[in-house]
């Protein structure tokens, strides 16, 4: 799904917070760019190649419903898990990381989870932690305090263009 940052900030009701909604999604910030007015039709050849690739991955997953860690991979993940930040922003990142390891290993046609897969997933989890912190909805007593906090957050992220500052 996709949303604007403004919509994302407004969805944080007590009900969504209580069910842990924030910890069940990955936030992927981005900006829209006008590149293609009318996309081209995808060729049947590309569609067939995609079907073949997905079928290969599904067969592999069916044959190996569980994936074992290599010793080095398990050690690396355990170290990351033991040292991960204990904050509201880090909740469920370990669970997401475990699921992502299996998906990446299956996508790479691997029989198990190796150290390289764990490294990639830890990078993604650490990045997600930083993104969650950066886009944490602002809790302020009034609209002026909220605006001040938004300005502080924007300016602390580094240099901005005039257009971004005006927004």
The answer to whether 5 and 107 have CB atoms below 8 angstroms apart is no
- pLDDT of the residue at 120: 97
Determine the pLDDT at residue 40: 87
Report the pLDDT value the prediction gives residue 121, as an integer from 0 to 100. 96
Residue 155: predicted pLDDT: 79
CA-based end-to-end distance of the chain: 23
| pLDDT score of 138 | 58
3-class state of residue 55 by DSSP: helix
**CA neighbor of 95 nearest in space, from 63, 141, 65, 128:** 128
The confidence score (pLDDT) of residue 67 equals: 83
Spell out the per-residue pLDDT of the chain, length 167, in tens.
Answer: 677 777 777 777 777 777 777 677 777 787 777 788 888 899 999 999 999 989 988 887 787 777 889 999 999 999 999 998 888 778 889 999 998 998 899 888 888 899 999 999 999 999 999 888 887 765 655 667 667 777 777 777 778 888 877 77
What 3-state class would DSSP assign to 149?
helix
pLDDT at res. 14: 73
Q: For residue 52, what pLDDT is reported?
A: 93
Q: What's the CA gap between 70 and 149, in Å, rounded?
A: 45
Q: Where are the alpha helices (DSSP H) in 64-114?
A: 71-83, 93-107
Residue indicated by tokens 């809790």: 139
């Amino acid at each position: 799904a996709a949303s604007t940052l403004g919509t994302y900030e407004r969805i944080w009701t007590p009900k969504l917070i209580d069910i842990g909604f924030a910890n069940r999604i990955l936030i992927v910030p981005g900006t829209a760019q006008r590149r293609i007015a009318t996309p081209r039709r995808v060729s049947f050849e590309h569609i067939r190649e995609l079907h073949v690739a997905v079928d290969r991955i599904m067969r592999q997953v069916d044959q190996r419903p569980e994936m074992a860690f290599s010793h080095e991979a398990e050690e690396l993940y355990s170290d990351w898990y033991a040292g991960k930040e204990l904050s509201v922003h880090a909740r469920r990142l370990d669970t997401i990381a475990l699921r992502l390891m299996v998906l990446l290993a299956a996508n790479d046609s691997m029989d198990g989870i190796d150290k390289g897969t764990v490294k990639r997933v830890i990078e993604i989890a650490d990045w997600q932690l930083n993104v969650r912190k950066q886009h944490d909805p602002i809790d302020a007593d009034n609209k002026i305090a909220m605006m001040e906090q938004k300005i502080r957050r924007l300016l602390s992220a580094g240099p901005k263009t005039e257009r971004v500052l005006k927004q």
